[in-house]
Structure 1
């Protein structure tokens, strides 16, 4: 049985992970961390990760970027792999994660959905095929409480497209305003926030006389929870290295 330490257990995703874990036979939430949670869980909840004194096999993080230092410190002291699902990190924080992975095991993905990561794999080949004759735009939609914009998933998809196109330097345009004709080497990233939208991401390839749209819609948070638990099972025995959902999918 794989024992998870769930950092951010009191949030919406923390609750979804807790509910999904109850249906698993090989994985369980052994302890949680949340500063403000008032929800009653069937596992102990600590105010700070530094207070956790329960044996676990892997840390699953659905919190905020400012928790990173404490998270890495606990991983280091307890020799535990980490599955990071938090987004909105600065370049400095991402560099810190990459450096930490040289001596510790870290999994980081902007989106835990298997579907989104399948789309990401498709984009690697499709972008090379279509770029010369198509403009590329990304539209993402989320609920009105989402903090970071554009979403980490939108940037994940954009980075995949950018890395796939070797012939030109690609730049990102976050939304558009004023009089500014689109340049072919620009990928527009447009963020919509409203209501309770779980998550929608659309990649538009617009050519002369036709468009191609690749769209993923998350209907519930359960899809992210299931992916996160799969990542935890994958990471439980890892000692060093930086992993993502491509590594999980490649084992199938």
Structure 2
């Protein structure tokens, strides 16, 4: 049984993961951390990591970028691996994650969905077939009207996965209205939609002459990210120091 500390336990994703773990026979949450300290769960909740004295095998983080530095301090001092799901990290924090991963196992991914991370691998195979044959690549991502970053980290991860096959020679185009000109061959267009309560939708188009191939992932609830985070925690428990991502989990 893998013992988990849930960092950000009272947030929406923290509650989603708490429910998932309740029905998982291989893991249990032994403590939660949340700044408001409210007791919403059947495990003890602390308002700071410094007050947590419960042993665990791994931590899952779905909190705030402001809390990541303290999280890394705790992880490295206690030698507890961490599944880092918080987004919007600064360049300094990203550099620190690289350094701290030499001391403790850290798993960081732009998207925790098992489906999206399988899609990343499928896109590389598709790119090897379609782009040399002259197909254009376009990405369309849709999210709810409360999302502040655009394009999404997942859309950029999809583009990066494709561009890796293309020796990173392709340019990302975010707004075609800035300049009136034909599409260049070595471009990956990324279009953004924000509206309503769309959880997350990512579509990749390989557009050729008289043919379009569409590869798409739709998340209907945030539970898909929670399930991925729990699987990542199981994978990371007991791992040697290093920087991991979801491709290691599904691989």
Greater mean deviation of Cα atoms: 226-235 or 131-140: 131-140
Distance across 2 between alignment mates of 1:206 and 1:164:
17
Distance across 1 between alignment mates of 2:85 and 2:159:
18
Q: What do residues 157-215 of structure 1 show as CA deviations (whole Å, max 9, x unaligned)?
A: 1110111112x622212233233332222212222222211111111111122211100
What residue is the counterpart of 1:185 in the other structure?
186
What residue is the counterpart of 2:99 in the other structure?
99
What residue is the counterpart of 2:20 in the other structure?
20
Distance across 1 between alignment mates of 2:122 and 2:94:
25
- Aligned pair in 2 of structure 1 residues 91, 180: CA closer, same or farther (>3 Å)? farther
What residue is the counterpart of 2:88 in the other structure?
88
- Aligned pair in 2 of structure 1 residues 214, 40: CA closer, same or farther (>3 Å)? same
What residue is the counterpart of 2:208 in the other structure?
207
What residue is the counterpart of 2:56 in the other structure?
56
Distance across 1 between alignment mates of 2:199 and 2:207:
26
TM-score norm. by structure 2 comes to: 0.93
Query: How many equivalent residue pairs?
Result: 249
1:175·1:191 contact (CA, 8 Å) conserved in 2?
no
Q: By how many angstroms is 1:137 displaced?
A: 1.3
What residue is the counterpart of 2:3 in the other structure?
3
Does the residue aligned with 2:131 lie in a helix, a strand or coil?
A: helix
Distance across 2 between alignment mates of 1:81 and 1:196:
33
- Aligned pair in 2 of structure 1 residues 50, 180: CA closer, same or farther (>3 Å)? farther
Does the residue aligned with 1:24 lie in a helix, a strand or coil?
A: coil
Q: What do residues 117-169 of structure 1 show as CA deviations (whole Å, max 9, x unaligned)?
A: 11111111211222231111111111222232221111111110111112x62
1:65·1:87 contact (CA, 8 Å) conserved in 2?
yes
What residue is the counterpart of 1:220 in the other structure?
221
2:69·2:93 contact (CA, 8 Å) conserved in 1?
no
Distance across 1 between alignment mates of 2:209 and 2:95:
40
- Tell me, which stretches of 5 or more residues in structure 2 are unaligned? none
Greater mean deviation of Cα atoms: 91-100 or 151-160: 91-100
- Aligned pair in 2 of structure 1 residues 142, 39: CA closer, same or farther (>3 Å)? farther
Alignment of 1:1-252 (within 5 A): 1-36=1-36, 38=38, 40-132=40-132, 133-166=134-167, 169-181=169-181, 182-250=183-251
Does the residue aligned with 2:205 lie in a helix, a strand or coil?
A: strand
Distance across 1 between alignment mates of 2:179 and 2:208:
21
2:4·2:59 contact (CA, 8 Å) conserved in 1?
yes
